[in-house]
Amino acid sequence: MDDILHLTPDNPPPANCTAGYFTGHKGARLRYAIFRSEISPARGTVVLVQGRNEFIEKYFETIRDLNAMGLWVATFDLRGQGGSDRLLKNSRKGHVRRLSDYERDLEIFLEHIVLPDTRLPFFLVAHSTGALVALSAAPRLANRVSRMALAAPYVGLRHERLPTGIIRPLAAIASWTGFGRASTGGDRSARPFAGNPLTSSAERFARNANIIAAHPELTVGAPTFRWLHETLRAATRVSTQEHLTRIHIPTLILAPVLDGVIPYAAQEELSRNFRAGQLVTINGARHELFQERDIYRAQALAAIEAFMPGLDGGMDLSESAA
C-alpha cells in the first residue's frame, strides 16, 4: 500500500485497506482505495467522490469515522488530480475535457470495483465538484445507489474578483476559441490559513498542508478555462427542475452557510426544486465540511449517520422522494 498511498506522521491511514489503479473512461489510469470496517456484518459501502484538487489521503480521518459507523468506503482520485493520470503536459493545470468524463469514471468504478469488491447497499457521499458529478449522473444511478449525501454541492460559484455573469461567458469564449487549456489564474494550492475560504480548523488545515508539502505531486493549480466552462454549464443544468425531477435517489444536501466557494443561496435554491432532496444547514461552517472544526464537522457526520438506512433507521424521505 505504501507505494500507492502516501502516509505522513500526523495523518495515519485507516486499517484494512486495499489500494490500486483501475482504467477509467478512454483509458485514464485512476487511483483508488477500499477501506473495510471492522464491524461485522457491514452496513453497506459509501462511495466517496472527492472535490476538485483533493486526494484520498485528505479523507483518511473521515474514512475512519465512516468505518466506525459500520460502513466500508470506496473512493478514487478524479482524473487530472491526486494520484490519477494528468490530462495535460503541464501536470499543474486542473483540466477536464468533458464533465461527462468524470461521470463515466464514476460509473466504471461502481461497476468494476465497487460492485464486485464491497458490500451492499451502496451510498454515495460527495463533496463540491464530486457532488456536481453525482447530481449529473444521478438519474442513471437509481438502481445502484440507495442514498446520497452531498456536501457543499458545486451548483454555483463565488469568485473573489469577478461575478459569475462575467466568468461564465469568458470561460465559454476561451473554450470555444482554442484557449480551453489555458489556466484561469495562479497556483494557490499552498495558500495560507489566514483568510482561507475552505475551513476554520487550523489543525486540519495544517495537516492537509503537511500532506501537500510532503507530496506536492498530489495537487494541481488553478483550473483551465475548459474545466471552468464544463463545470459551470453542468452546475446550471443539474439545478433545473427538469433535471432534478429525474433524480429519485433520496438525497441529503449539507450546506455550509459561510461557504466561501459555492454560494449558500445556490445550495438552498437547489433544495427548493429538488423533491428527493432535503437541506441540512450548517451555520458557521465554511466550504470543506469534512475538514472543518469539530463543532461543524460533527453535524455533517451525524446527519449522514442518521440518513443512511440501517444505522439509526434513516431519515424518512419517502414523501419527498416519491
pLDDT tens column, 275-286: 999 999 999 999
How many whole angstroms separate alpha carbon 224 and alpha carbon 71?
Answer: 36
pLDDT tens column, 109-152: 999 999 999 999 999 999 999 999 999 999 999 999 999 999 99
Sheet with 277-282, edge to edge strand ranges = 17-23, 29-35, 72-76, 45-49, 122-127, 147-151, 251-256, 277-282
Which among 95, 116, 294, 82 is positioned nearest to 201, based on CA atoms? 294
DSSP state letter for 273 = T
DSSP state letter for 94 = B
Neighbours of 238 (CB within 10 A): 25
pLDDT tens column, 56-81: 999 999 999 999 999 999 999 999 99
- Label residue 199 by pLDDT band (50, 70, 90): very high
- The grid coordinates of residue 12 equal 495515519
- The grid coordinates of residue 273 equal 426544486
Tell me what pLDDT residue 249 has.
97
